[in-house]
Amino acid sequence: MNYYDQVLEAAAAIRKVLPAPAKIGIILGTGLGSLGDQIELSHALDYRDIPHFPLSTVESHSGKLLIGTLAGKPVLAMKGRFHYYEGYSMKEVTFPIRVMKQLGIETLLISNACGGLNPAQNVGEVMLITDHIDLFPENPLRGKHVEAFGPRFPDMSDAYSSELLSRALGFAKMNKIHLHRGVYAGVQGPNLETPAEYNYLRSIGADAVGMSTVPEVIVARQMGIEVFGISAITDLGVEGKIKRITLAEVLEAAAIAEPVMAEIIKEIVRQVD
């Protein structure tokens, strides 16, 4: 079975338990899975029960597709994502985004945990993604083109919706919520960066670095899905502030950022038509 048919088969299986069409998709990043607890569930599908879905191998990613409502709107939420460093191809990493599009998703809200590169940032703070730098060794659009997925050469000049970004900033200002804005650099991982690599990433214009998000955004934009990106700053790659970091510390920092991220995401859901 070819890749496109696999996407259609997975979407058909999910559609059987989908109570209402959902236009909003959410990816819950590292340490941010408890936001899923705020979704009023109708179904929670294990990835293993969805045809052709990869399985999450990362300790902090549970591997469920949540179907329900958030802020009164139908949503599909991935509780656990897939990473290139797990050994998956980029087509496998982005498979769920293809499936979401088949199910009617028009807006994707994507979250992650990342390392902060901007000296103004602190651990536990939140950054809205304004743009990204793709440093992965493989592109999810590489290979035979499937016309049904969208243009061969998609435009990325507004990869992260300026309209959704503006709405989030307006909400934050009105509610006196402190947010950063910046450019996210996507790298393959799984090791964290050396001090020299942090300096390099900062020198080319990155405000944060992580091991996800960029592939999903590329695929979403190819298919015409609007994207909103938000990051939890879980460690610092700033000279003089670099220290050894454990997964437990990453999760602790993400938990600090999560209430703010949850409020922003819920507000964007409320405002999406």
The predicted-structure confidence for 53-65, as pLDDT tens digits, reads as follows: 987 665 544 689 9
**Residue 121: both structure tokens together:** 């940032």
Highest-confidence segment of 62-66, 166-170, 248-252: 166-170
**In the prediction, which pLDDT does 58 show?**
57
The band of 254, judged by pLDDT with boundaries at 50, 70 and 90, is: confident
Q: What pLDDT score does 255 carry?
A: 87
Which of 234, 252, 260, 29 is CA-nearest to residue 115? 234
Q: Read off the pLDDT of each residue in 3-27 and give the average, rounded to a whole number.
A: 92
Going by pLDDT thresholds of 50, 70 and 90, the confidence category of residue 215 is very high
**Length in residues, the chain:** 273
Structural domains in the chain plus CATH codes: 3-271 (3.40.50.1580)
Using DSSP, state whether 208 is helix, strand or coil. Answer: strand
